[in-house]
Structure 1
Amino acid sequence: MNAFSTLVAGACLVIASHSFAADSQVHLRGEVTAVSTIDMTIRDRKGVKTTVKLPEQTQVLDVSRSSIGAIEESNYLGVAAVPAPEGKVRARGVMVFPEAARGLNEGHFPWDMGDRGTMTNATVAKLVKKNGKTELEMRFGGKSQRVVLDKATVFAQFVPGTRELIVVGTKVLVVGTLTVDVAAAQLVMVGRDGFLPPL
């Protein structure tokens, strides 16, 4: 595995991990209001500010907008969703993973986005377009999950990034740990051009 693949795979393990359910795991989403070599401050949509430590091992991803046109059969995706009728889920955010991330933490599990939110990390087995709607059949570990894409679904993709991307005004998703009320970032997903990573 080359250096690029190693970095992507390591970062994806953090993104895909559902261990956030543990008390020590946190997901922080918002805008950077201050940053230094050792920490940064994030303001969420409610205006709450949180200071997050930036250890040397913190990984950074450069996240940009994508589109439904980038979704193809055999893609490996991370889909943040909420329940929909007939056992389906409605995608709120879709992350197109690079090939280096295929198979990482494959499955369907709870996620902290929306009421009864879920994350599905899986391969697109079938893509169906009918009546103006797009539906995916996602397969993982011998199981499947149907996913509905609509006009509200946000699509993204990423490449490895550097700390220089973390500047005041950028929007980020931080995956980190919480110890004695101090958050430390394991991964910072930095959105380009005011884009908030959709997971």
Structure 2
Amino acid sequence: MRLSRSMSLVVGSLLLATSWAQAQDGQPARVRGTIAAVEGQTLSVTSREGPVVKIQMAPNVGLRGIKTAAASDIKPGDYVGVASAPASGSQPAGALEVLIFPAAMKGANEGSFPWDLQPNSTMTNATVSNAVENVSGRQLTLTYPTGSKTVSLPTNIPVVTFADASAADLKPGAPVFVPATKAPDGTLSTAFVVVGNQGVVPPM
């Protein structure tokens, strides 16, 4: 059976929702860097830490590009992933980046948990329950099953959403973010790759 384009996008987003959540279970190994080589299903990435890391991609690996969005695009009811720095005193946590998920991924790995974008950062995947503007900028209230969190969005932080991508986008020099799983023997595998195919480096 041949799927329509719209149905394919829904199925693809559901696959990504599953792989995004699974990649955070057990032993996560988030790889950020640029593609060094692609050999069959093996993706070699020059990581931001320096070493080249080899990752085995699933046969049906989900691929997504990344494109720029705007803080003004974020509205109540949206499902977002917000990496943030720790709160300071009475000030809310400051967002480091915002990913606006497609509707089909709502609920993927919902919650707030440690993240390694920078020291002591967290990732909050949640529904926006309130979005307001004030003299210090835009603030979001994020609600998830076990609580809520308010974050401020500094001017010019990356705000992105997913875009289409294909295997042709996995080429040397392309920036990637790979939420991988580390096996007991140290090998890495993934079902999901985010590639900067539109001139945007995946900021998560």
Q: TM-score, length-normalised on structure 2?
A: 0.86
Give the 3-state SS of the residue equivalent to 1:10 in structure 2.
Answer: helix
Displacement after TM superposition at 1:61 (Å):
1.0
User: In the alignment, does 2:108 pair up with 1:104?
Assistant: yes
Q: Is the 8 A contact 2:137 2:155 kept in 1?
A: no
Distance 1:152 1:13, change over 3 A: farther
Distance 1:106 1:11 in 2: 14
Q: Is the 8 A contact 2:81 2:125 kept in 1?
A: yes
Distance 2:58 2:159 in 1: 29
CA RMSD of aligned residues (A): 2.1
User: In the alignment, does 2:165 pair up with 1:176?
Assistant: no
Give the counterpart letter for 2:15 in structure 1.
G
Distance 2:16 2:121 in 1: 22
Name whichever of 9-18 and 96-105 sits farther off.
9-18
Partner of 1:113: 117
Consecutive unaligned residues of structure 2, counting only runs of 5 or more, are 1-5
Q: Is the 8 A contact 1:60 1:187 kept in 2?
A: yes
Partner of 2:37: 34
Distance 1:106 1:87 in 2: 24
Distance 1:135 1:16 in 2: 26
Number of aligned positions between the proteins? 197
User: In the alignment, does 2:69 pair up with 1:81?
Assistant: no
Distance 2:18 2:85 in 1: 22
Equivalences for 1:1-199 in 2 at 5 Å? 2-16=7-21, 19-20=24-25, 22-23=26-27, 25-85=28-88, 86=90, 88-141=92-145, 143-179=147-183, 180-199=185-204
Give the counterpart letter for 1:19 in structure 2.
Q
Identical-residue share of aligned pairs (%): 25
Q: Is the 8 A contact 2:23 2:190 kept in 1?
A: no
Q: TM-score, length-normalised on structure 1?
A: 0.88
Displacement after TM superposition at 1:69 (Å):
2.4
Displacement after TM superposition at 1:55 (Å):
2.8
